[in-house]
Structure 1
Amino acid sequence: MRQTPAPPGSPTRRALGAYGEDLAARLLTDAGMTIVRRNWRAGRMGEIDIVATDGDTLVVCEVKTRRDQGFQHPMAAVTPAKAQRLRLLAEQWLHQNGGPPPGGVRIDLVGITVPRRGAPLVEHASGVA
């Protein structure tokens, strides 16, 4: 039986998102990255889920978490408009934090699918936008 997803902003949706961000942060640190900041907001422009460094590269990471209910794959939720907003957020971060690092900036995506039973599927795509 297919369930209706929780409405945006609901406690259930927020808890799922926080769980996914925790998994993503663990994946990135296990890959050797350093988490610099989580849930960085730039006013009405939006939020960067995770800001990290990978050597001398700044990584802006978007995390998308979905329950495994046959809906859209989590990574498909990053539309061209969302990718553009991530680039603008990265520029704002750089403006507020001293400019670009020697290795430049990369935008990554972590997609997480949480099944009804068993371990979540965590996928990392590097340099998506």
Structure 2
Amino acid sequence: MNGARAERHWAEAAARGHLEKLGYRHLASNYRLRGGELDLVMEDGSVIVVVEVKQRKDARFGHPLEAIDARKLRRLRRAAMHYAQAAGGGAGARLRLDAVVLLGDEGGYSLQHVRDVGW
């Protein structure tokens, strides 16, 4: 596993663990579809939550949340709807986009969970 992939893996594992402690149920990781990938798909009660995980060693080049721009949100919305339809939820599924941001590395990091980053 290369360095970037290893960093992505531990960040997604940390995000998943945090959300599971909050009572979320894991549905999928790295769900791939044409035009993108969903880092995590979780369930919060009856809501399907697509989680974008962003990790940086530090904020020197900007806060990780800044990477979730309007274009990224459009892609995430489209992918979330695709996932819901493929999972049998269809147009009636309740969807939400969250972000989990990690600053630091495996040796020490801060984690921030931002609910409903935009729809």
Q: Say yes or no: TM over 0.5.
A: yes
Equivalent residues of 1:58, 1:101 under 8 A apart: no
1:53 maps onto 2:53 in alignment: no
Equivalent residues of 2:85, 2:91 under 8 A apart: no
Alignment of 1:28-67 (within 5 A): 28-43=19-34, 45-67=35-57
2:97 matched to which residue of 1?
A: 107
**Structure 1 residues 15-72: Cα deviation after superposition (integer angstroms, max 9, x where no partner):** 11111101100110011100111000013x1000000100111000000011126121
2:113 matched to which residue of 1?
A: 124
- Give the Cα–Cα distance (whole angstroms) in 2 for the partners of residues 110 and 69 of structure 1: 15
Q: Gaps (5+ residues) in structure 1?
A: 1-9
The code of the aligned residue for 2:112 comes to E
Q: How many residues align?
A: 118
- Give the Cα–Cα distance (whole angstroms) in 2 for the partners of residues 18 and 68 of structure 1: 18
Return structure 1 stretches of 4+ with deviation > 3 angstroms.
Answer: 100-103
CA RMSD of aligned residues (A): 2.0
Quote the offset at 1:119 in angstroms.
Answer: 2.3
Bigger Cα Rg: 1
Greater Cα shift, 91-100 or 51-60? 91-100
